[in-house]
C-alpha cells in the first residue's frame, strides 16, 4: 500500500486530524468554539502543508485511487488541491528557481529588488492556481486532473458550507485560505535574496531536529533541490554527502522557520 514505510505515521496523523475536523463540523454550533478551534488548528495545518508538499513530490501510495483520496483531505487542510503543487512547484519552481524571470515562486520583482514577505505572500498565494494551470499547458493530463479535482473539491466545500454555514466556514473554507497564505509566507525565506546560478548556494537550510521532525526534513532544502524526487526520509543522508558544497551562512538551526535569523 505505502511506497515508503516512513509515511505511515504522518498519514495516520493527517487522517486523524481530518476525522477531528468532521467531528467538529457535525457536532459544534457555537461561534466561539468554532473560532477557537480554527485558531487552535493553525499550527497543525501549517505542519500538514509540509507533508502535502512531500506527497506531491513523491506519491504516498502505489494506488492511484488512494493518492487521490489522500489529496482530498490534504486539500481541506492546506487549500492545495490535486496536482497544484505538482505543476506549480515540482514542474515549475524546481525547474526555474535559479531564474527569477521564470520561477513560479519568484521572490524577486521585475526591477530586480527583493519582495518583502507580505508582498511575496500575496503574490504567490494569489496567483498559485493560475500559475499551476499555466504550467499545466505543457502537461495536459496533469492539468486535466488538476482542474477536475479542484472543481470537485470546491463543490464539496461549498456543499459543506451550505449545509452548516458557520461550521463549514471555520472548519474548512477559512482554514484552506489561511493555509495557502501561510504556505506562501514560509516559502519566502527558502531562497529570498540568493540570486545565483549555483544550486548549492541558492537555498537556506535548517538543521534543527524539531523543525525537521515536524516538517519531514524540509530543512534540508539544498538536498531537496539537488534531488527533488528523493523521498523526504532520505534527505539527511544526502545532505551529509553534499554539505561541504553548501556555504556555512546558508545553514541555520531554528525551531519554527526554515531560513534567515
pLDDT value of position 75: 98
Query: What is the average pLDDT across 111-138?
Result: 96
Question: What is the number of other CB atoms lying within 10 angstroms of the CB of residue 210?
Answer: 13
Q: Are 91 and 105 in contact (CB under 8 A)?
A: no
118 sits in the region (left: phi over 0; alpha: psi -120 to 50; else beta) called alpha
pLDDT tens profile 128-173:
999 999 999 999 999 999 999 999 999 999 999 999 999 999 999 9
Q: How many whole angstroms separate alpha carbon 181 and alpha carbon 58?
A: 23
Query: What is the average pLDDT across 63-88?
Result: 98
Assess whether pLDDT exceeds 60 at residue 90.
yes
Cell numbers that stand for 141 in this block: 493530463
Confidence of residue 260 (pLDDT cuts 50, 70, 90): very low
Residue 108's φ and ψ, nearest 5 degrees, are: -105, 135
Q: Are 127 and 137 in contact (CB under 8 A)?
A: no
| Domain locations along the chain | 5-195, 196-261
Assess whether pLDDT exceeds 60 at residue 258.
no
Query: What is the average pLDDT across 179-191?
Result: 94
Q: Are 229 and 214 in contact (CB under 8 A)?
A: no
Cell numbers that stand for 244 in this block: 561541504
Assess whether pLDDT exceeds 50 at residue 205.
yes
pLDDT value of position 254: 76
Q: Are 253 and 183 in contact (CB under 8 A)?
A: no
Q: State the chain's mean pLDDT as an integer.
A: 95
Q: Is the dihedral of CA 188, 189, 190, 193 positive or negative?
A: positive
pLDDT tens profile 7-19:
999 999 999 999 9
Confidence of residue 36 (pLDDT cuts 50, 70, 90): very high
pLDDT value of position 130: 97
Query: What is the average pLDDT across 76-83?
Result: 98
pLDDT value of position 261: 43
Q: Is 161 helix (H, G, I), strand (E, B) or coil?
A: helix
DSSP result, 234-248: GHHHHHHHHGGGS-G
216 sits in the region (left: phi over 0; alpha: psi -120 to 50; else beta) called left
pLDDT value of position 253: 85
Q: How many whole angstroms separate alpha carbon 39 and alpha carbon 47?
A: 14
Amino acid at each position: 500500500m505505502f511506497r515508503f514505510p516512513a509515511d505511515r505515521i504522518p498519514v495516520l496523523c493527517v487522517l486523524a486530524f481530518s476525522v477531528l475536523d468532521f467531528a467538529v463540523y457535525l457536532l459544534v454550533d457555537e461561534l466561539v468554539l468554532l473560532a477557537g478551534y480554527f485558531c487552535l488548528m493553525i499550527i497543525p495545518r501549517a505542519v500538514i502543508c509540509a507533508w502535502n508538499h512531500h506527497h506531491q513530490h513523491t506519491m504516498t501510495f502505489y494506488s492511484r485511487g488512494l493518492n487521490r483520496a489522500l489529496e482530498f483531505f490534504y486539500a481541506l487542510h492546506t487549500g492545495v488541491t490535486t496536482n497544484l503543487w505538482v505543476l506549480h512547484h515540482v514542474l515549475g519552481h524546481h525547474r526555474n528557481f535559479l531564474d527569477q524571470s521564470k520561477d513560479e515562486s519568484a521572490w524577486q520583482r521585475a526591477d530586480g529588488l527583493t519582495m518583502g514577505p507580505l508582498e511575496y505572500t500575496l503574490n504567490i498565494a494569489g496567483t498559485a492556481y493560475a500559475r499551476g494551470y499555466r504550467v499545466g499547458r505543457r502537461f495536459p493530463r496533469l492539468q486535466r486532473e488538476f482542474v477536475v479535482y479542484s472543481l470537485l473539491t470546491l463543490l464539496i466545500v461549498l456543499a459543506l458550507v451550505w449545509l452548516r454555514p458557520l461550521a463549514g466556514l471555520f472548519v474548512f473554507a477559512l482554514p484552506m485560505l489561511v493555509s495557502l497564505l501561510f504556505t506562501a509566507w514560509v516559502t519566502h525565506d527558502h531562497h529570498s535574496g540568493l540570486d545565483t546560478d549555483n544550486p548549492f548556494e541558492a537555498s537556506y537550510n535548517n538543521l534543527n531536529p524539531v523543525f525537521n521532525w515536524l516538517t519531514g526534513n524540509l530543512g534540508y532544502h539544498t538536498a531537496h533541490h539537488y534531488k527533488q524526487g528523493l523521498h523526504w526520509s532520505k534527505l539527511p543522508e544526502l545532505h551529509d554527502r553534499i554539505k561541504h558544497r553548501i556555504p556555512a551562512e546558508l545553514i541555520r538551526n531554528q525551531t519554527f522557520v526554515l531560513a534567515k535569523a
